[in-house]
Amino acid sequence: MRILRAWECNIDREIVKLKQQLSLLDGLATNHRKTVLKIIHDVRNLGDKAIVKYSKCFDKVSLSPDEFRVIDKEIEDSYKKISLPFVKSIQRAISNIRAYQEHIKIRNVGPLKANGVVLDTLYTPLESVGVYVPGGAASYPSTVLMNTVPAKVAGVDKIVMTTPPAKDGSIPPERLVAAREAGVNEIYKVGGAQAIAALAFGTKTIPKVDKIVGPGNIFVTLAKKEIFGYAGIDMLAGPSEVLIIADDRANPSFVASDMLSQAEHTPGISILVTFSESLVKQVKTALKQQISKLNRQEDTRKCLDKFGVIILTKNIDECVEIANALAPEHLQIMTQNPRTVLSGIKHAGAIFLGAYTPVAVGDYIAGPSHVLPTSGTARFSSGLSANDFLKRSSVITYSRPALKEAYKDVAEISEAEGLDAHIQSVQIRLNPRSGF
């Protein structure tokens, strides 16, 4: 793990390097674009036949189109394979997510009225959403909840989930139970770029949706980038990342545990920014002690060595400047007065204040979605919420006197643009005998 002292290096240059490391689309990512384009082309033109081909190629699973969809019995059987406490935890998480999303959901506002003009705003939910849930080493039931519940709160009628199966065609029971509890309507055993293409264009078996959300590997993310416009997407998510601002009173064991919780994502990026030399020494000791107790200690250690960074600064203000420059997905503030530090923060996906607020509560139970902007995109985007599943329509009403009042301005601007028909569309309403 690298240790950078801001006064010994060109910190601006080092921040640029860190941004490149955080960037999803730098480096090898662009080399996969041809593969992704080929998959999208084939799925769009060959439909289910291409899904069968690529599922066998990438997921090593042989499924016919009539086996793509998860049947009710599979979901019912999944409840028998998990514990009741797990189901209760999922239900409590759903309750918290729903409460928060309902709290922040945009409501229709009253009309704006003035001199014969009525301006309304109408918010309507999307009709259908596709949720992609990755496979791999973990089951990711939390990903199901954090993408599905906000959509349900928004009022989306149809939620379709795709997720890669194991080689035997099964889906982890935790994932299926989470989907049932959260209100997913249909589940398909399809992963990778082929799943994204199927949701974007539809096949005989898998329905087309209006928007696709959920994280995935580089192929999934590039596929989302390529199909945007045929369907909406949430974001292009890169590796999970945390930046921790800590002072000399922070608990080094807490700091180390939070760095490790990101590193175990493999890849996961852990950055500690502090002005305390003593804290750095204690955190390094705590990391060695804690990592030896992890189930995935080897992979986590390698990830921390490659993607872990400690930046020593002169003061807390410099810590804040670095955090704003990096615009991290997760920002933890473990200082004596975290809300004072918060006042200087401009860019972060989710912010966790105080010693007793680890990222894990945001990942699983707090309520805000853990689908967050990565790779510095928190400078211009936000985490997923119910509002991302709503569309806004303007509703405009003019009376005849109001149109007459607006005529001169419409005429001036449309004449400047050389659009005569625009002027005529007003004139004909004000003077039906004008010859139009």
What CATH number has the domain bearing residue 57?
3.40.50.1980
Residue 188: other Cβ atoms inside 10 A: 25
- The CA-CA-CA angle for residues 160, 164, 170, to 5°, reads 100
Q: Are residues 271 and 350 in the same domain?
A: yes
On whether residue 134 sits in a domain, the answer given is: yes
Domain count, the chain: 3
pLDDT value for 431:
86
On whether residue 393 sits in a domain, the answer given is: no
Q: Are residues 179 and 264 in the same domain?
A: no
Q: Are residues 177 and 224 in the same domain?
A: yes
Q: Are residues 94 and 199 in the same domain?
A: yes
Q: How far apart are CA 11 and CA 52, in angstroms?
A: 50
On whether residue 391 sits in a domain, the answer given is: no
Q: Are residues 55 and 196 in the same domain?
A: yes
Q: Are residues 86 and 207 in the same domain?
A: yes
Which H or E run includes 153?
Answer: helix 141-154
| CA 165 remoteness from chain centre | 22
Please identify which of the residues 76, 329, 370, 417 carries the catalytic annotation. Answer: 329
Residue 240, C-beta contacts closer than 8 angstroms, at least 6 positions apart: 262, 265, 267, 268, 269, 329, 330, 374
Could you identify the residue written with the tokens 């998510």?
237
| CA 192 remoteness from chain centre | 17
Within 13 Å of residue 11, how many CA atoms lie on the same side as its CB?
Answer: 20
Q: How far apart are CA 427 and CA 97, in angstroms?
A: 53
pLDDT tens digit at each of 436 positions of the chain? 889 888 888 877 877 777 676 665 655 456 788 999 999 999 999 999 999 999 999 999 999 999 999 999 999 999 999 999 999 999 999 999 999 999 999 988 899 999 999 999 999 999 999 999 998 666 789 999 999 999 999 999 999 999 999 999 999 999 999 999 999 999 999 999 999 999 999 999 999 999 999 999 889 999 999 999 999 999 998 888 999 999 999 999 999 999 999 988 878 889 999 999 999 999 999 999 999 898 888 888 888 988 899 999 999 999 999 999 999 999 999 999 999 999 999 999 999 999 999 999 999 999 999 999 998 899 999 999 999 999 999 999 999 999 999 999 999 999 999 999 999 999 999 986 755 4
Domain with 419, as residue range(s), is 400-436
Annotated active-site residue 14? The verdict is no
Q: Are residues 203 and 268 in the same domain?
A: no
Q: Are residues 118 and 50 in the same domain?
A: yes
Q: Are residues 34 and 18 in the same domain?
A: no
- Which residue, 200, 233, 266, sits at the end of a domain? 233
Q: Are 108 and 121 in contact (CB under 8 A)?
A: yes
Among the listed residues 70, 354, 12, the one whose alpha carbon sits nearest the alpha carbon of residue 186: 70
- The CA-CA-CA angle for residues 383, 221, 144, to 5°, reads 55
- Which residue, 185, 216, 233, sits at the end of a domain? 233
pLDDT value for 31:
75
Q: Which two tokens stand for residue 180?
A: 């049932």
On whether residue 268 sits in a domain, the answer given is: yes
- The CA-CA-CA angle for residues 159, 164, 166, to 5°, reads 135
**For the chain, counts of helices (H) and of strands (E):** 17, 14
Q: Are residues 333 and 255 in the same domain?
A: yes
On whether residue 329 sits in a domain, the answer given is: yes
Q: Are residues 69 and 207 in the same domain?
A: yes
pLDDT value for 23:
66
Q: How far apart are CA 327 and CA 70, in angstroms?
A: 39
- Which residue, 178, 203, 233, sits at the end of a domain? 233
Annotated active-site residue 298? The verdict is no
On whether residue 137 sits in a domain, the answer given is: yes
Q: Are residues 57 and 182 in the same domain?
A: yes
On whether residue 390 sits in a domain, the answer given is: no
pLDDT value for 434:
59
pLDDT value for 299:
87
Please identify which of the residues 174, 241, 264, 330 carries the catalytic annotation. Answer: 330
pTM over 0.85: yes
Residue 349: other Cβ atoms inside 10 A: 23
Residue 239, C-beta contacts closer than 8 angstroms, at least 6 positions apart: 22, 24, 265, 267, 268, 269, 307, 374
Within 13 Å of residue 377, how many CA atoms lie on the same side as its CB?
Answer: 20
On whether residue 385 sits in a domain, the answer given is: no
**Sign of the CA dihedral 326, 267, 54, 175?**
negative
